[in-house]
Every structure is written in C-alpha cells, then in structure tokens.
Structure 1
Amino acid sequence: MKTALICGVSGQDGAYLADLLLKKGYSVCGTSRDAQMSSFRNLSSLGIREKIKLESMSLTDFRSVLQILTKIQPDEVYNLAGQSSVGLSFEQPVETLESMAIGTLNLLEAIRFTKAKIKLYNASSSECFGDTKGLPADENTPFHPRSPYAVAKATAFWEVANYREAYGLFACSGILFNHESPLRPERFVTQKIIKAAINIAAGKQQKLYLGDISIQRDWGWAAEYVEAMYLMLQQQEPDDYVIATGETYSLEKFVEVAFSCVGLNWQNYVESDSNLLRPTDIAVGRGNPTKAEQKLGWKAQYKMPDVVRMMVVRNEKVIT
C-alpha cells in the first residue's frame, strides 16, 4: 500500500485528490496548519473524513515539515497548500508569497535532506503565464505573472525545477488552468455566480454584482484535474504539464449558462461594480494540454457548460 501526504487537504483539490487516492488503495494523510481546529468540511461532504489521517503542519516552518515527513514516510507528496485566491493576494501579498514560496522550498529541502525516495507534486497555476494575447499557453510559454498570487506560484515553480535539475529529485509541477466544483468557497467568482443564480431563482436574492465579465478563461472540472496530478507522479521521469480543457469562454458566457440553468435571463439581474475590479487582470486565459494528452493519456471530458450545469445541480441540493 502506497502512502500519500496531501498538504492542503481541506481545499477543493485536496478533497477530490484524497477521494481519488483512497479509491486507488492508498493510505492518505492530509495536513492543515491546525488539524484540531479545521472543519475539513470538503472531506465530510465527500464522506471520506474518517478515512484520512489528519496532521497539523506549518509549511513555512521547516522543523514542522521535517517532523511530518519523518513521521508519515510518504511515497508521494502533493503540495496543494497556500493562499489560493488571486484577488486576496493583492491584499495579502506577503502571506501569499511566504505560504507558497517558502512552503514549497521547505518541502523540497526536507526531501533532499532526508534522502527519502519521495515523489513530489507541486500545484502551479496558469496565472503564471499572465496575458498571452489570446494565444494558448503550453509548457514552453514564458511566464509573465500579473498578481502577487502568480508571482508566488512562479517562484515555487522554479524552485521545483531547480531541485529536480540540481539534486535529481522526482519533483514536478502541474500548471493548472481554472478548475471548478461545488467545493469552491464563495469568494471564488464562479461559486458566487452559481449561488446567486440559485438564490435569485428562489427569491432569496435580488441582484448579482460582478467586476469585468469580458475576461475569458479555460474552465474545467476539478475532480478530473486531480487525476492529472496523480498521473504525473506515476511517470518514469518527472516533468511539468499544462492541464486545461483547451477551450475558452468569457465570464459573461459563464453567467449566461448559470442563469439559464435556473430559467432566468442573466441580464435582468447582473450589474457591474467597479469596486470588484483588480489592479491588473488577464484578459484571456487559454491552455494547450497537448503534452498531457500525449504523455499522461489525460484529456478533459467536461467543458465550461458541463461544469456550470454540474455546479448548479449539486449546489441546489445543498441550498435546498
């Protein structure tokens, strides 16, 4: 039986990944900064909380990281932790950088220090690419981060690449484009839209306020994207991969699909709020997942309209 350590198990991706690995026969340990106080709501919603060993670990504390790696002795480590909101990173740039850059470095250094045969997956982000002028980004596209979040993710990406090349660690990064699910917190605009549409249809809300709805993104289904994470660590050689659907839609289209799912015309309920605009944003996010399909055998089955419909259905069950 393999043992997997998931840093950031309480988040959307951590919960889906834990569920996937349990089904594959893994012993799964998940960490949080304070496991005794964390609710682990996402694990409970998937019915797997009692199947996972939960430990407290601070990724920014090297001693804490070293202790957990020594105690758990994992075969695979999935680094999904860190401040996860692009918008919040403008308000908390130091916390964002430290949680990702120092956290990832501590994991790499602890693995190097212990000489353990651990395979490491690092969660990178399409935000690292910045604005590619509408061109699809692949593994060779230069980084041009446009937010503190993206800067932090880019830093962690190059740390992983450096340790892989300098010390021969099996360490790789998944450069994931946007991926959604009902497990997203409401501070993410996609979940905000879904819940607003359902609440407005039920007469519980009057309006939905959004920033720039002309932006375009490549949206996928989170439960599928964690399969790509797993596949990366099953390869003979470590490498980095772009994970995306290859299809891009505007936020306006996302809103339209969400409201149509509940029988409403979005234009009657959505208003613009300039306070929700970011200092800098990416006009178009578009991914090229060809390498993942060719080398991992992974291809997204669900595109944005499918994702929206699934989110509406599952959120309706929760809300009602």
Structure 2
Amino acid sequence: MRRALVTGINGQDGSYLAELLLERGYEVIGLVREDAGDRLGRIQHIRHRLEIVEGSLLDDALLRRVLAERRPNEIYNFAARASSRQLLTDPTLTAEYNGLAVVRLLEAIRAVDAGIRFCQASSSEMFGAATQSPQNELTPFRPRNPYGVAKLFAHGMVGTYRENFGVFGCAAILFNHESPRRGPEFVTRKITMGVARIRAGLTRSLPLGDLDVTRDWGFAGDYVRAMWQMLQAEVADDYVVATGVSHSVREFCDLAFGHVGLDYRAYVQADPGARRAAESVPFVGDAGKARRELGWQPSMSFERLVRTMVDADIVAQQVALAPDRNVQH
C-alpha cells in the first residue's frame, strides 16, 4: 500500500487530494498546523481514515522525524499563506511559509529518503505582470507581490533539487481553482454565498470590487488530480494546470445569480474605487503540456462549477437557518 503525506490537508486542495488518494488505496497522513483546531471541517467526513500530525513546516526536526517514522512514498505540499488578504501583508512570514518551508521539506527528503516523490503547489501569481498570453511553462515570471515572489523561490528550489540532488520533484503551476470548499474570503465564494443569502431574504445587496477583472477559473478537484498524475510519471517536471479560458467576475455573477432566476445587476454593488489598472495581457493558462504528457483533462466546465458552488451555498444557508431539532421547547 502506498503512503502519502499531504501538508495543508485541511485546506480546499488538500481535502480533495485526500479523497482522491483514499479512493486509490493510499494510506494518507495529513500535516496541519498546531493551531488548526476547529479548522478541519473540510476533512471531517474522512477524518477517521486519515492520520493527522500537528506541526510546523518551519520545524526541521519535526519534518525529518515525520518522514523517518511514516516513510511516505509521495509528498504533496499545499501548506501556504494563501489568502488574498495576505498577498501584501507580513512579507517575512509569507516568505517563511511559502518559500523557505519548501526548502526544509526538500532537505528532509534528501536527508531521510531521496526516493520520496514530491509535488509543490506553485501559483500563477508567479507570472504577475506577464508579457505574453496564454502563460505556459516557458513564460517569464514577473511576480508583483510577496506571495508570488515566495512561491517563485520555492518553485525554483524544486527544480534545483531535481537537477542537482536527484530528487523527484515536480511543481504544479496552478491557475485559479474553485469549489464549494473555497475560503469565504475569495471573490468566487463571496458571490455564491451572497446569492444564497439574497435568495434566503437575509440581505438585498452584494458589494464587490472590479467586475471586469478576468481569471482562468477551474475546479479544484481536477487540479489536484493533475498533481497526482505528475507523481505517477516516469520523469519529474513542472506543469501549468489551467482551463485555457478566462472569464470575468461579471460573468461569474451573471451565471451565479441567473442560476436562481435573479439578475445580478439588481443586487451587485460594484465599487468604482476598486477598479484595477488593466492587465497588460489576458491572464490565462496554457495546460497543453499537461494534456500531452500526462493525459490530464479538466472534467468540470466553468458553468457547472458556478452552479455547483451556488447549490452548495444554498444548502449550507438552509442548514444554518434550520431550527435546532435538539432544542427542547
């Protein structure tokens, strides 16, 4: 039986990957921060099938001990400071978790078992002020915030360990990927949660920023499958994971509200002051290499993704509003 270590297993991506690995017969070990506490909701339904280890990616001794004791065949690193609110705040901590922590993991692999296969969740934020579109593995990186810079450092170190130390290290350059498990601070969930609240009569408006920003949005479950496929390949390499199609926040709103028979224009309040400077080129990924070499294909369309997220938030809103059946009257 193969064994995998998943850092950040309690996040959106980690939870989907844990499900995929369990379906394929893996033993799955999840590494979460000591203060994860009640933030394990995304994996609660499979918690009994996982081994959870608490610890920090900044603790070299812990990482080596976990690898030596559990002997994973594969490691997937999702642990990072990833919130949109953290893109510019606390650059030092961002550099530690998104950059140096990855080197610590790679060093632990090199010290304990260089045969462990490693996959890093890199980010399209590394492209930053891109000069060509679509962006692929050969597009120059031009990150514009501490998050992207730290991710680029980690991305480069994966290649360095692959070329200089023989580590089977891969990096998935992930474009935006969403799901009902996406954090509520991200614009996609703000929209779908807003739709659910408006439909339930709890509010009449949804304030948003620039509606004309475009992104290449895919389904998180598809993207972690690409990462698993990367570690099954004969040769380690880096791959862009994206749909190849971009959509605007306005399109997302139109689909989300339209799914429940509403016109977003009656509810969405765009902030003119939040309008961003136009990006030099469209921000969209070219996953041709992953399609050719890994046989990867996304399974969920943009339209189905939006509908799925809206439906999930409607159900969650109904559950939240339902009276507690255990309350004695």
TM superposition score normalised by structure 1: 0.95
Alignment correspondent of 1:150: 148
TM-superposition CA deviations, 1:109-137 (whole Å, max 9, x none): 11112234100000001111113356101
| Percent identity of equivalent pairs | 41
Mapped partners of 1:319, 1:188: distance in 2: 18
Residue 226 of structure 1 aligns with an amino acid whose one-letter code is V
Report the CA distance shift for 1:62/1:192 in structure 2 as closer, same or farther (over 3 A).
same
**1:203 aligned counterpart, secondary structure:** coil
Report the CA distance shift for 1:166/1:311 in structure 2 as closer, same or farther (over 3 A).
same
Alignment correspondent of 1:176: 174
Alignment correspondent of 2:120: 122
Mapped partners of 1:293, 1:48: distance in 2: 30
1:38 to partner: Cα distance = 4.3
TM-superposition CA deviations, 1:115-170 (whole Å, max 9, x none): 34100000001111113356101111110111221111111100111111110100
**1:48 aligned counterpart, secondary structure:** helix
Report the CA distance shift for 1:280/1:51 in structure 2 as closer, same or farther (over 3 A).
farther
Residue 295 of structure 2 aligns with an amino acid whose one-letter code is G
- In our comparison, the structure showing a higher alpha carbon Rg is 2
Report the CA distance shift for 1:174/1:134 in structure 2 as closer, same or farther (over 3 A).
same
1:29 counterpart = 2:29: yes
Mapped partners of 1:268, 1:283: distance in 2: 31
1:162 counterpart = 2:167: no
Report the CA distance shift for 1:134/1:87 in structure 2 as closer, same or farther (over 3 A).
farther
Alignment correspondent of 1:221: 219
Report the CA distance shift for 1:173/1:265 in structure 2 as closer, same or farther (over 3 A).
same
Report the CA distance shift for 1:202/1:35 in structure 2 as closer, same or farther (over 3 A).
same
Report the CA distance shift for 1:113/1:279 in structure 2 as closer, same or farther (over 3 A).
farther
Mapped partners of 2:266, 2:235: distance in 1: 53
**1:174 aligned counterpart, secondary structure:** strand
TM-superposition CA deviations, 1:171-213 (whole Å, max 9, x none): 0100011110011110011001100011112211121111122
Report the CA distance shift for 1:176/1:199 in structure 2 as closer, same or farther (over 3 A).
same
Alignment correspondent of 2:46: 48
Residue 178 of structure 2 aligns with an amino acid whose one-letter code is E
Picking from 88, 98, 110, the partner of 1:90 is: 88
**1:171 aligned counterpart, secondary structure:** strand
1:18 to partner: Cα distance = 0.2
**2:129 aligned counterpart, secondary structure:** coil
Alignment correspondent of 1:10: 10
Picking from 195, 200, 204, the partner of 1:202 is: 200
Alignment correspondent of 1:292: 290
TM-superposition CA deviations, 1:24-59 (whole Å, max 9, x none): 000000011117724310002xx2111000001210
Residue 94 of structure 2 aligns with an amino acid whose one-letter code is T
Does structure 2 retain, via aligned residues, the 8 Å contact 1:171–1:238? yes
1:274 to partner: Cα distance = 5.9
Residue 169 of structure 1 aligns with an amino acid whose one-letter code is V
**2:92 aligned counterpart, secondary structure:** helix
Report the CA distance shift for 1:136/1:264 in structure 2 as closer, same or farther (over 3 A).
same
Mapped partners of 1:89, 1:26: distance in 2: 34
- Which structure 1 segments of 5+ residues have no match? none
1:233 counterpart = 2:231: yes
1:277 to partner: Cα distance = 6.5
* Count of residue pairs brought into register by the alignment: 318
Does structure 1 retain, via aligned residues, the 8 Å contact 2:170–2:238? yes
Report the CA distance shift for 1:67/1:216 in structure 2 as closer, same or farther (over 3 A).
same
Alignment correspondent of 1:264: 262
Residue 209 of structure 1 aligns with an amino acid whose one-letter code is P
**1:185 aligned counterpart, secondary structure:** coil
For residues 96-107 of structure 1, the aligned pairs below 5 Å read 96-107=94-105
